[in-house]
Amino acid sequence: LSLHDALPISEIKPAEGRHDMLGQIAKYTLYFRMLLHIKHFKSVQPVTICNSYDKHTLTELKRMSVVTLKYSVNRGRIMVGAV
C-alpha cells in the first residue's frame, strides 16, 4: 500500500516527537479507520513529521505501522526524509 492509495493522517511536531504523540496518532487513526466502515476512504496511513524522536516513541510508532519522517532546516530549505 502506498501513500497515494491511503488517506494520510498526520501529526507534526516542531521539535522532538515524544510519548504524547503515540496517543494522538492512535486517536486520529482510529477515528478515520472507523470512517472506512461507511466507505469514505479506502485505507488510512498514519504519518508523523518531527525534528527528532525519542527512542521509545520511535519504536512504538514503527510497531504501530506509522510512517515516521524527520525534517531539518539547512540554509533556509526544509529537508524531509524517512527515519
pLDDT digits (tens, 9 = 90+) for 1-29: 444 567 777 888 888 888 888 989 899 88
The predicted-structure confidence for 39-77, as pLDDT tens digits, reads as follows 666 778 899 999 999 999 999 999 999 999 999 999 989
Report, in this order, helix, strand and coil percent for the chain, each rounded to 5.
30, 35, 30
For cell 492512535, name the residue: 26
For the full predicted model, state whether its pTM sits above 0.95: no
Nearest alpha carbon to residue 46 among 22, 13, 10:
10
pLDDT on residue 38: 66
Section 30-39 average pLDDT: 77
Q: How far is CA 26 from the centre of its chain?
A: 10
How far is the CA of 36 from the CAs of 21, 30, 31, 43, 56, in angstroms?
23, 10, 9, 7, 30
Mean pLDDT of the chain: 85
Per DSSP bridges, beta strands 7-12 and 67-74 are unpaired
